[in-house]
Each structure stands twice: as C-alpha cells, then as structure tokens.
Amino acid sequence: MKVVLEKYHGLGNDYLVFDPNKNTLKLSQENVKLICDRHFGVGSDGILEGPILEKEKMEVRIWNPDGSIAEKSGNGVRIFAKYLKDAGYVQKTHVTLSTLAGDVDVQYLNEEGTRMKASMGKVSFWSDEIPVSGERREVVNETMIFGKIPYRVTCATVGNPHCVIFLNEISKDIVCRIGKNSENASYFPERVNTQIMRVIDRQNIEIEIYERGAGYTLASGSSGCAAAAAAYKQGLTDSKMYVKMPGGTLEIEILDDWTVLMTGDVGFVGTMQLGNTLVEQLRALE
C-alpha cells in the first residue's frame, strides 16, 4: 500500500496534505503523531486531510501534530486551497472550504494560487464562545496568571480559542515559557493558542506564537487574526494592519461587523511517498 503526501508551508508553518481519495490509510491520533514526528516520521506542524467529498462543499479535517483535531487554521486553509488548485479539484478563482468552525471563503490572487485572501469569519471576545471559564463577559484586558506570573490578556475566537498578551518585549523563549502554562490553564476548558504581541505602530504589530497541540510555530494565520483583532479592539491599531511573525508577514483587515480578512502566501515543498517500513507502522496504528 502506497501513502503519498504533499508538503506545503504558509510562512514557515508547514503542513502535510493527506488526500483520502488517493490514499487508503485511515488517519488516527497515533499515526498522525508518528507522521508529524520530525525524527521518526515526515515532520510537520499538522496534517490537512481532504478533500472529504461526502458533502457538496470541499471539507478539510485539520490534525494537530499531537493527534488532536483543530477547528480552524489560517495557514492551513490557504495551504489546502493551494493543494486543491494544484491537484485540479478547483479551476475557479475562489473556493469555499468547510471546517469544523464553519465555512471559509478563499480567493486566489494570482494564477499560481500562491497568494490568497481568506475570509476567516467573525471574531468574538465573548467568554462562552471562546471558551473561557467564569461568567459571560468580553475577555478584554483582563488579568490571568500563568506560571505564578500575572499578565494582562485579551482572549478571542475566530473559530478556535486564542489568548493574546501585550508585552514590550517578545521572543521565542518568552512565548514558550508562557505557553507551556497557558495552553492547559484552568481558564480554558478546550485549551488555548497563545500569542505575545508588540504593537509597532497603528499599521504594524509583531507576534510570537505557542499553538495548542503544536507548541512553538513560526507563523499562524488564526493567531495573526486574533492578535490583530485584540489590538484593534483596544484602539491600538487601525482596522488594516500587517502582522509580522518569525516566518513572514500577513495582511489583516477587520471589517465593521468584525469579519476578519487574511491575505498571505503559500509555498509548495514537494511530494513524498512514504517508505514501506513506515507505512507498516502507520497501518498498525490505524
């Protein structure tokens, strides 16, 4: 049995596309963890399974490298849209993808499909929608304690949960130290993605990211959307801005109804066929 994967990245946030229409392997939590392992498997920040053609829309299932399922991924939806164009599933200039968090409309901005604008849906700061524990409220500029240290945070959802922390200095070390405590903190019943953010000016912010189920990542589309919305919510930026991450920059626009538009690039890495020994290990974990 052959297993073929396509590898892409969105600003250094790398995903493997697993097309169930071309592979007979059934993905599970354990074999996803092995595939994503950077030493014993292929290595990636997650797997995009699809297109799942049971419905009228193009459905994608987003796997985190720990084998859990993510509701939505900003880089993931752009990568998957690029794959659909490369594989001939889509010939139009746009596509609607179905995710666990709802539909995402993606517009191709060039013929190659390497640059796209995605409508990520409406951002919400309401605690019961993110979710955040406690009474129903907008979680804006609230104090939370991670690792015995208090931080001022704003929490948001664009289909998946985010905790944004405003700091004057940001780095990989800082976000990893905070993220290891915040991801599974009791405030967040479904865990949380963590961003530390520095506001540069009204059109530019900078973030570092610790993703739920993945750890430190070079870029995250949904994290960029949440951080931008948090900055705009508190009047620190304009509605259009650039979000700078270690892997690259996204353009974010927040509309009057709080719909978030995300524009960014996608790169194709290559096609790979897994070796027989690894395939046998994966089949044993189905």
| Torsion angles phi and psi, residue 285, rounded to 5 | -100, 5
pLDDT in the model for residue 115: 98
Q: What is the pLDDT of residues 213-238, one digit of tens each?
A: 999 999 999 999 999 999 999 999 99
Question: pLDDT band for position 45 (50/70/90)?
Answer: very high
Please determine, for residue 196, whether its predicted confidence score (pLDDT) is greater than 80. Answer: yes
Q: What is the pLDDT of residues 108-121, one digit of tens each?
A: 999 999 999 999 99
Please determine, for residue 198, whether its predicted confidence score (pLDDT) is greater than 80. Answer: yes
Q: Are residues 84 and 134 in the same domain?
A: no
pLDDT in the model for residue 38: 96
Q: Are residues 15 and 74 in the same domain?
A: yes
Q: Are residues 160 and 240 in the same domain?
A: yes
pLDDT in the model for residue 46: 97
Query: Residues within the annotated binding site for substrate?
Result: 13, 64, 74-75, 160, 193, 211-212, 221-222
Mean pLDDT, the chain, whole residue set: 97
Domain count, the chain: 2
Q: What is the pLDDT of residues 70-82, one digit of tens each?
A: 999 999 999 999 9
pLDDT in the model for residue 53: 87
User: What average pLDDT does the segment 97-107 reach?
Assistant: 96
Question: By CB neighbour count within 10 A (0-12 exposed, 13-18 middle, 19+ buried), where does 230 fall?
Answer: buried
Q: Are 27 and 63 in contact (CB under 8 A)?
A: yes
Q: Are residues 82 and 144 in the same domain?
A: no
CATH of the domain at 272: 3.10.310.10
Q: Are residues 11 and 102 in the same domain?
A: yes
Q: Are residues 133 and 239 in the same domain?
A: yes
Answer whether residue 262 is part of any domain. no
Q: What is the pLDDT of residues 130-179, one digit of tens each?
A: 999 999 999 999 999 999 999 999 999 999 999 999 999 999 999 999 99
Q: Are residues 225 and 132 in the same domain?
A: yes
Pairing relation of β-strands 94-99 and 58-63?
Answer: parallel
pLDDT in the model for residue 56: 74
CA distance readout (Å), 158 to 119, 141, 153, 214: 10, 18, 16, 18
Q: Are residues 138 and 247 in the same domain?
A: yes
Q: How far is it, in rounded angstroms, from Cα 234 to Cα 241?
A: 14
Q: What percent of the chain has pLDDT over 70?
A: 100
pLDDT in the model for residue 43: 97
Please determine, for residue 54, whether its predicted confidence score (pLDDT) is greater than 80. Answer: no
User: What average pLDDT does the segment 38-59 reach?
Assistant: 92
Query: Residues within the annotated binding site?
Result: 13, 64, 74-75, 160, 193, 211-212, 221-222
Answer whether residue 32 is part of any domain. yes
Indicate the helix (H) or strand (E) that contains 168. Answer: none
Instruction: Read off the pTM.
Output: 0.95
Q: Are residues 72 and 150 in the same domain?
A: no
Answer whether residue 194 is part of any domain. yes
Answer whether residue 196 is part of any domain. yes
Question: By CB neighbour count within 10 A (0-12 exposed, 13-18 middle, 19+ buried), where does 140 fall?
Answer: middle
Q: What is the pLDDT of residues 229-273, one digit of tens each?
A: 999 999 999 999 999 999 999 999 999 999 999 999 999 999 999
Q: Are residues 37 and 63 in the same domain?
A: yes
The domain in which residue 203 lies consists of 124-257
Q: Are residues 275 and 227 in the same domain?
A: no
